Structure 1
Amino acid sequence: MAVLPSRPRPPHLPPRLFQAVVTRLRAAGCVFAEDEAELLCSAARTADELDTMVGRRVAGHPLEHVLGWAEFRGVRYAVDDGVFVPRRRTEFLVERAEALARPGVVVVDLCCGSGALGAALVAAVDGAALYATDIDPAAVRCARRNVGAVGGRVYEGDLYEPLPDALRGRVDLLLANVPYVPTEEVELLPAEARVHEARVALDGGADGLDVLRRVTAEAASWLAPGGSLLFETSERQASLATRIVASEGLTPHVVTREDLYATVVIGSRA
């Protein structure tokens, strides 16, 4: 299921434009200038549109915002301006969730952003039902396109607050890609994230785990027996994160994938 299919480079864009785009991107410090130029040239419908897109990229906008999509687990999902861009390392979280999933599983995706995580998971599991929430209206608008494409529902509000109460005790997999950057470190992030993504999707409070604490405080009441909470964190935060999970009655387990620099904590309800 591809939300946004790719388009071939239109014939009215002269081949010489490709090298000109590469030169502009390279001068702006884009490490993968050729790859980005290919994507931009393929997406642009006119030379003027290409010039505008390249200008935005050179000015520091994330490539995904310029294109209007991000690739996640081999599928292109819509990503609007200001919406958190799903990271490649987060594919590992979905991979671990898929390993736990069974046909007909009930999935909740908190802090869903574009909705790519939940959509990617339920697309891989027969009969899965998806409910997603985010507090950012721009993210909710974007997620409704991605999540709606797999038959899921998106609610605007703070964490569990907008979810149907009938889901309590019935959630098999609770994905929570919560912000986990400590407040004082947000300003150290690359400008692409710091300037162009919503701060609410990045700032995790003093130690980076404030939102996680709020998620785990209610997780057990929403999870079905045997259900699991899965979230991403940094390697240095994993020890404290597991203690937070255990303090709320869930059994924690840490899994890592070194090639993606990914650390995922799984908290299971007995």
Structure 2
Amino acid sequence: MSLSEPFLSPSAIVAELRAAGCVFAEDEARLLISAADGPAALAAMLERRVAGLPLEHVLGWAEFCGLRIAVDPGVFVPRRRTEFLVRQALALAPARPVVVDLCCGTGALGAALVSSLEGAELHASDVEPAAVRCARRNVGVHGTVYEGDLYAPLPPTLRGRVDVLLANVPYVPTGDVELLPAEARVHEPRVALDGGGDGLDVLRRVVAEAAHWLAPGGSLLVETSERQAEGAEATVGSRGLTARTVASEELYATVVIGTRPQT
């Protein structure tokens, strides 16, 4: 069957997706059908998905913490496991918190957090121009997104005021990047994946300055892998923060939290 045919039945779409290796073919078919505004658009979307583009890039959005997050081509796709990091941040956030989202990508973490926190002040940054454009759409009037490397573009007035510092840094070791699924390796920016030799290079840079930006009692939250958790916790605890690790078996997620002492 040709993908250029003017009409594709749901069963035919599922068959095409299965043949392309899509594990959740039925779910993806429903999403593609609901998103397409006609048979021609559906055929084009299916062709892109079968060619290996991430489903979120084909749809133009990803579901994250109950929100529909815009995801542009070439931008890192927010993972469902990262919802666990947002939950931990919500549990730690004081009333009307100051929130910073470093390596923000689509801005999904910050957008999800402030949508659940009344009066939150959100600042986010990313080095990738495409990610910044996407994050500005997702954050909208609820925060400010800056283009630049980590803390560099943030207003100096935030120093010592940040209650929740989110940093979903890249943590894949350089040697493992080529082992990632093609959806990530080919279609997402390497800067959002590659964490250096041991996967902790960007984390070290975040931790080096974190205590200067955090308010007393404020917390840094970073996602890592289970095998890197010990090293990541040691890194977070090496610069005056009290570090601990929490994990979710359900989401296969590991988060390291570093809190600045009150005094």
Shorter-chain TM band = over 0.9
| Cα deviation, residue 115, structure 1 | 0.3
Determine whether 1:141 maps to 2:133: yes
Alignment deviations for residues 106-164 of structure 1 (CA, whole Å, 9 cap, x no partner): 00000000000010011101101110000000000000000115x11100000000000
Q: Is 2:161 aligned against 1:159?
A: no
Match of 1:243 in 2: 234
Give the alignment partner of residue 214 of structure 1, picking from 198, 205, 216. 205
Any idea what SS the aligned residue of 2:74 has? coil
| Partner Cα distance (1:154, 1:48) in 2 | 36
Tell me, yes or no, if structure 1 residue 171 matches structure 2 residue 162: yes
For 1:79, which of 48, 52, 71 is the aligned residue? 71
Deviation at 1:225, TM superposition (A): 0.5
Note the residue ranges of structure 2 that are not aligned, 5 or more in a row. 1-5
- What count of residue pairs does the alignment treat as equivalent? 256
Aligned sequence identity (%): 72
Name stretches of at least 5 consecutive residues in structure 1 with no aligned partner: 1-12
Q: Is the 8 A contact 1:102 1:125 kept in 2?
A: no
User: Residue type matched to 1:196 in 2?
Assistant: H
SS of aligned partner of 1:175: strand
1:124 is aligned, of 104, 116, 120, to: 116
Shift of 1:244: 1.1
Q: Deviating runs (4+, > 2 A) in structure 1?
A: none
Identify the residue that residue 3 of structure 2 maps to in structure 1. Answer: none
2:37 is equivalent to residue 51 of structure 1: no
Match of 2:171 in 1: 180
Structure 2: distance between partners of 1:177 and 1:58:
29
Q: Secondary structure in 2 aligned to 1:260?
A: coil
The structural deviation recorded for 1:74 is 1.6
What is the CA-CA distance between 1:17 and the residue it aligns to? 2.4
User: Does residue 1:30 correspond to 2:11, yes or no?
Assistant: no
Write out per-residue CA displacement over residues 156-194 of structure 1, whole angstroms, 9 at most, x where no aligned residue. 000000000100000000000000000000000000000
2:18 corresponds to which letter in structure 1?
A: R
Give the 3-state SS of the residue equivalent to 1:76 in structure 2.
strand
Deviation at 1:209, TM superposition (A): 0.2
